[in-house]
Structure 1
Amino acid sequence: MDAAAASKWCEEENVPLKTDLVVEIKGEAWTEEKLLPVLKTLYKDKKLWVIDMRIDNANPHTYALCEWRQELPDCFKSPSVKTLDSIELIMIHPTGEQDSPTSSSAPAPKGATEQKTKGSDTTPLKSISPELCAVLGEIVAQCKKDSPDYLMTGYRKLRTFSGRHPVPSSEDGFEEWMDHATQALEEWRVPEPHKKQRIMESLRGPALEAIRNLKLSKDDCTAQDYLDVLQNVFGRTENTSELHYQIEHCFQKKGEKLSEFVGRLDKILHQILLKKGIDPRAVDEARVQQVIRGAQPMDPIAFQLRTQQGS
């Protein structure tokens, strides 16, 4: 695998090039469980994730797409690293930077030093007339004026979700991620393509593959379609009838605080809402009715609600 193939892999998994690389291991097929402790042994201070793995059984070779939170550790910037067991890990950088000279190390063209000395008092900006600078300024100002507000301001990004089990420490579980995504979708005042892009940039692994399959089977997908298919694949398996049954048979336990009881109700109601089994405007009423039915008889808040209901 070369740098171009590694870059394409990063694009497919929607991961940044600067904090990722592909680790190649020759001679045997490795699993994520075997590779991850080895990588952590080489550098313990920065957290990393194995995003995806591919096995070439013909050679055989193992390729692992790895991601670091902020930047690559120095020990992984070299072409290869040897483990304590003398196993060579070949580093394939998506950008190919390890193979190309930097601007500071590249040899200067012949005569460049002399030209710089002679022209040290002249810079490209000084050769631009004031009139041209004014025109360029007007163009930049117009571009900013014509740009939509959503391109000029930031937005609340979703946390990462891959659908892997057990849930990695850097990710949300599905219900937490879906709750945030549903709220964000209501907040984002942007065109549909931007909503889909923002959801896609938070997905990895099996979750990203589910969206790709949706796009192949359905034209003109919406951001809500993305959330619906993720709900079908990774959400709870109960249908709306079963969830309504759970609501009707959800009661406050002895010694349980009313807030904890309401929290359990809300989780079930949220699942019904995600499955479109209830009108959003009826959620509050359904919660109140079940609190009246299911709370302990002497709970003061529930008692007050029953009094108001009966009056």
Structure 2
Amino acid sequence: MDPDEAAEWCKAQGGQLELSVVMDIPVGTWAEEQIRLAVAALAPDQRGFLADIKVNPETSHTYVLFEWRKGVPVCFQDVSIQLTDDVEVRLIQPSKPRGDSANIPASSPLAMIGPEFIAAIGDLVVKCQRAHPSYISFGYRKLEKFSGNLPTPAGEETFEEWVEQAMQALDEWDVSEAQKKQRITESLKGPASEAVRNLKLSKRDCTALDYLNILQEVFGRTEKAAELMYQYEHTYQKRGEKMTEYMRRLDKILYQVLLKKGTDPTTVDQVRMRQILKGALPLDPVMLQLRTREGNKELNY
């Protein structure tokens, strides 16, 4: 994939070129969650989202379109990056549209239009696209089916697996609350669908997070928020465990804490980073990089 193809892909997903990067992963098929955790470990202070994935069956390469809300992190602006200890990926920066300013006469009004104006128009177009129903329903990552039946039917996920994906999706979906609720209900059936239906009958102004909360009460873990928070704060990286695997274990517990309202959703990133700095092995490569950036000082969050 070249920069022009990356740009076309980004546009098709409604993304912004200057905020996006395509990663060319040369080995095997990576799960979305595995990719998110690897990226989060490399740029823990910048939140991004996985816009789309393509797999080339002929070369076994996986192409990942990733977008950040506040700009591409510095470590992802090079030609390649070490995604994990044993996997280096090529980075493809989507090409920006090429203007042919040489053919515009100096007296033309177009020559007097500054880059700020053009950027503002571009932002306006993107906002209009995002507000259009065809954009809202196009290209989003759908949740797996969940019914709440036990044992878990073939083709479905357990509640812990499903709600983890749902929490991530709520953070990524840049749509209205009504659209978020619709997307969640699309993935539900059986007892799970009935639980949400009963909630809507008793609470007319419920949110998408309310849907997850009621499902947590019916199908989730029985521990109290304080018990889960204690478990979270005493979860440490195991010897030989990769940082991405450790972060995944932490997030599974953290999502349960959030659903039980054991922590403020606005402080999730701080809570996650604080526990990573506390619980990670001191000789883990990611921790060594963090300490190097901080001049080998003790890391506090």
Q: Normalising to structure 2: TM-score of the pair?
A: 0.46
- Higher CA-based Rg: 1
Which structure is richer in relative contact order (CA contacts within 8 A, separation 6 or more)? 2
TM-score, L = length of structure 1? 0.45
